[in-house]
Amino acid sequence: MYKDYLTFIKGETTSDNQKIADKTLEREINLARKIQTQLLNGKIPTFKGGELAGSSLPARLIGGDYYDFYPLVNGKIRMVVGDVMGKGIPAAMLMILTRGAFRSAAENTNCPAETLTSMNQALYEDLRTLKSFVTLFCADYDPKTGIFTYANAGHLLPLYMNGKDKSIEELPKVSGVMLGGIPNQVYNEISIQLNEQDIVFFYTDGIVEAQNKNGEQYKLERLIQTLLENHGNSVNEIEKSVMDSVRQFTQGVPQKDDITMVLLKVSKQKSDINSKDSLLMN
């Protein structure tokens, strides 16, 4: 009888300890989500002659997608969107490392290609140790001239919508392997001219690979059609339209991958911005 009582007490204690451990883990995960949400939903630069927007919806409580903006002293805005291999807490931890590397590189490099080269050098050993990688697309936009310069590290090419004829296509291809793929990788870049009403849509594959109840994917064609239908709207309205379209297509099927997008829309061909101080922050 006494042994049975001890066994009962021991079982209760183990159960209580497990409940405490579970609650502690839940609090820490929620804190991690809060931190990541704050980092991903930071201040978005505003400027004369255009507008920017960015959003990310993780498939789990926390995710591995990443986007960021960094106003430069020369008046340009450096922006990045990326996807860390994996999901959940490990991917989120690597996302934080990627963010730190981007902020440091953006401060000390002259262009998107140099930024990706610097980030790969900073992260390569850690990514190899963890057997992971990060795809990134990095770009500079100059509101004064309308020049859009970009480099790619294995990421999906953004979509470019011509404001004049409303055509949509991928940006011209520029090669570059994912971060963590090759040591001492040197990245290349391309520049294009953006004009009034042009839109550049950055995204991760969680959008086009979203599935409905029949296992069908959302696909690029639906995304393009949604962008065409909402071209005249603000970037925030376009962003919402894309999310609404994806939700309508999936019909409640649980999200399997993080969904992230960044939009740049030009409202005028040129602006008077010539310094970092001219950029206002929301």
Checking if the pLDDT of 65 tops 80, the result is: yes
Alpha-carbon span 110 to 98, nearest angstrom = 19
Tell whether 76 and 122 lie within a shared domain.
Answer: yes
Instruction: Determine phi and psi for 78, rounding to 5 degrees.
Output: -95, 135
Checking if the pLDDT of 141 tops 60, the result is: yes
Say what the pTM is: 0.83
Alpha-carbon span 11 to 31, nearest angstrom = 30
Tell whether 30 and 170 lie within a shared domain.
Answer: no
Q: What is the per-residue pLDDT for 276?
A: 38
Tell whether 1 and 122 lie within a shared domain.
Answer: no
- Specify whether the CB–CB gap between 93 and 127 falls below 8 A: no
Tell whether 33 and 154 lie within a shared domain.
Answer: no
Amino acid found at 153: A
Per-residue pLDDT tens for 4-22? 544 544 555 567 777 776 6
Alpha-carbon span 99 to 80, nearest angstrom = 10
**Residue 184 to residues 84, 124, 145, 241, Cα–Cα distance (Å):** 20, 9, 32, 40
Alpha-carbon span 98 to 40, nearest angstrom = 12
Tell whether 28 and 49 lie within a shared domain.
Answer: no
Tell whether 64 and 17 lie within a shared domain.
Answer: no
- Specify whether the CB–CB gap between 259 and 246 falls below 8 A: yes
Per-residue pLDDT tens for 241-267? 999 999 999 999 998 888 999 999 999
Alpha-carbon span 273 to 145, nearest angstrom = 9
Number of domains in the chain: 2
Reading the block at residue 185, the tokens are 């990788």
218 vs 11, more confident: 218
Span of 112-126, 173-187, 268-282 with lowest mean pLDDT:
268-282
Task: With cut-offs at 50, 70 and 90, classify the pLDDT of residue 130.
Answer: confident
Strand pairing partners for 70?
78
Contacts of 269 (CB under 8 A, 6+ apart): 49, 146, 195, 196
Tell whether 154 and 126 lie within a shared domain.
Answer: yes
Q: 173 exposed, middle or buried (CB, 10 Å; 0-12, 13-18, 19+)?
A: exposed
Tell whether 214 and 116 lie within a shared domain.
Answer: yes
Alpha-carbon span 112 to 50, nearest angstrom = 20
Per-residue pLDDT tens for 31-42? 666 665 666 656
Tell whether 158 and 21 lie within a shared domain.
Answer: no
Residue with structure tokens 């390569």? 124
- Specify whether the CB–CB gap between 140 and 186 falls below 8 A: no
Tell whether 55 and 142 lie within a shared domain.
Answer: yes
Q: Please tell me whether residue 61 adopts helix, strand or coil conformation.
A: coil
Tell whether 222 and 109 lie within a shared domain.
Answer: yes
Task: With cut-offs at 50, 70 and 90, classify the pLDDT of residue 89.
Answer: confident
230 vs 9, more confident: 230
Per-residue pLDDT tens for 76-88? 999 999 998 877 7
Beta strands (DSSP E) in the chain are 45-46, 50-57, 65-71, 77-84, 134-142, 147-153, 159-161, 168-170, 190-193, 199-203, 259-266, 280-281
Tell whether 26 and 89 lie within a shared domain.
Answer: no
pLDDT, mean of residues 128-154: 96
Contacts of 107 (CB under 8 A, 6+ apart): 70
CATH of residue 176: 3.60.40.10
Alpha-carbon span 87 to 65, nearest angstrom = 9
Domain that holds residue 18: 1-40
